[in-house]
Structure 1
Amino acid sequence: MRNVLAGQADQLPGRIVATSNEYPTGHRIARHSHRRSQLLYGAHGIMVVGTQAGRWMVPPERAAWIPAGMAHDVHVLAQISTRSIYVEPEVSAALPGDCRVIGVSALMRELLLETLDLPLQADAAGGSRPDLIYSLIVREIERAPVLPLDIPFPSEPRLAARCRAYLAQPSPHDGIDDWCRDLAMSRRTFTRRFRAQTGSSFAQWCRQAAIFAALPRLAAGEPITALALDLGYESASAFTTMFKRLIGMPPSRYLATARAYAPER
């Protein structure tokens, strides 16, 4: 079904439901949750999915998996065409139990595009063509690779709030000693807690946060070199290397994607 608002998805009948939407650059979907798990695929464009635990970047032709009941929001960084598959948890015990970004195989991509004109709902246990397509999508989700496109937030509220503030405005001059002072922690305690709660070192987390913060600024037309230096990278090439490692494409391709789907002015 086309153009179903996020808040209306739970009202649709069926164990598996497919919907599609188009969202403009800058669009935000407020925090909400679904009774079914959701696969949120972007055929083109770029979006960020946020939860209490962190944020996940979803580049073109990738998908976010959001478990049933998990509160989340969505921020569209470059105009996006989405396909959503909503799956009741009892359909498969092998489906992921955590939020993640997954790789989308060529088969899954074609199956997702095929859902655009299929009936609204399917059973996944039936033998009709729509049922078989949805069943195959579920199997592809189960085996999809997890992509390292997340920024985890610590569980400790004060530390999480400091991370959110940094993500909103990264600064190369905001170092570990500043964080320790603001949080009244020793460097040793801070380092231990930060790694335990995020699974990442402070320096690595900050580099990833800078890349996340750079995406809307790149889409707005800021020069790559000036942006890289502003975020604390030694050069545009160092920024490009980290960007490609995390996002899966160089900044130039990201810019081309953002411009291709930018709204008319």
Structure 2
Amino acid sequence: MRNIPLADVDHLDLAVLPIATDYPPGHLLDWHEHRRAQFLHGATGVMVVDTAEGSWTVPPDRAVLIPPATRHRVRMLDVSTRSLYVEPGAVPWWPATCMVVDVPALLRELLLTSAEFGPDYRVAGREGAVAALLLYEIAALAPLPFHVPVPAAADLAALCRAYLDAPDAGVGNAEWAARVAMSERAFTRRFRAETGDSPAGWRSRARLLAAVPLLRTSSVSEVAGRLGYASPAAFTAAFTRAFGAPPSRFTASRTGGGPRP
């Protein structure tokens, strides 16, 4: 199934609905939710998934697990997706919050195969076996750390959302505290209680997440300068500590991607 709306097939008596979709560059899937759980794989490009609880950046050839009935939006940056929409009853083990995961070679091939299924695929045949194996493979995946939480409080959430849209190394705790009419100490204590991290630590992680889509079209040196790091080496060290791989692994030359014509 390719480039068809979920609503057209959601009624089918199939536990797993594979749908492949090609999106124009910069496309925004605005706030929405699905009755089914979703395994959203970016075969190309970078995705940024937002929910009320946080923001998940999905690097090239990774995926995100989205729980059923979770309101979310997705920014598609040169993305072609391979999605699975799964009946909640078929995956009681599905995570309660979004989770970014790697996509090993076997799972990637199974996703490519399932994208060719029609809406009338046979559960009792080969196609049904592929669908069942997909769920076994997904259940074995571990989360990757491409995520920042967003506070539940509206005033703190607004600060965080604005920062995610435009990360600025020059912003400090005093400025954030002033925006919500609090002392810096009280603000820091409240922010840590809501997110489990200090405001400075949260902003540092948000800047590193912002680097992932930038690396699709810019060099490591350019991204380091844009995000306010003193040097490419400092940026590389911070990125590697946070994500377990250097930023050079996410450049267009390494991912086989780049901007579309």
- TM-score under structure 1 length normalisation: 0.87
In the TM superposition, residue 184 of structure 1 has moved relative to its aligned partner by 2.0
> Equivalent residue for 2:154?
157
> Equivalent residue for 2:112?
113
> Equivalent residue for 1:97?
96
Question: How many pairs does the alignment contain?
Answer: 260
Greater shift, 59-68 or 178-187, is seen at 178-187
Residues 217 and 258, structure 2, Cα contact 8 Å, conserved in 1:
no
Once the two structures are superposed, the pairs formed by residues 1-265 of structure 1 within 5 Å of their partners are 1-5=1-5, 8=8, 10=10, 13-77=13-77, 79-120=78-119, 127-219=124-216, 221=218, 224-244=220-240, 245-246=242-243, 248-251=245-248, 253-256=250-253, 260-264=257-261
Cα deviations by residue, 1:57-96 (Å, 9 ceiling, x for unpaired)? 111221111111111111122x222111011111121122
Cα deviations by residue, 1:184-222 (Å, 9 ceiling, x for unpaired)? 22333322222222222222211121123344545454x
Computed over aligned residues only, the root mean square deviation of the Cα atoms, in angstroms, reads 2.5
Structure 1 residues 196 and 12: alpha-carbon distance in aligned structure 2, compared to 1, 3 A threshold: farther
Separation in 2, partners of 1:89, 1:186: 45
Partner amino acid, structure 2, of 1:243? F
Query: What are the ranges of 5 or more consecutive residues in structure 2 without an aligned counterpart?
Result: none
In the TM superposition, residue 98 of structure 1 has moved relative to its aligned partner by 1.4
In the TM superposition, residue 138 of structure 1 has moved relative to its aligned partner by 1.2
Greater shift, 192-201 or 209-218, is seen at 209-218
Separation in 2, partners of 1:158, 1:170: 17
In the TM superposition, residue 39 of structure 1 has moved relative to its aligned partner by 0.2
In the TM superposition, residue 249 of structure 1 has moved relative to its aligned partner by 5.0
Structure 1 residues 132 and 228: alpha-carbon distance in aligned structure 2, compared to 1, 3 A threshold: same
Residues 17 and 122, structure 1, Cα contact 8 Å, conserved in 2:
no
Query: What are the ranges of 5 or more consecutive residues in structure 1 without an aligned counterpart?
Result: none
- TM-score under structure 2 length normalisation: 0.88
Q: Provide the secondary structure at the position in 2 that maps to 1:263.
A: coil
Q: Provide the secondary structure at the position in 2 that maps to 1:117.
A: coil
Q: Provide the secondary structure at the position in 2 that maps to 1:155.
A: coil
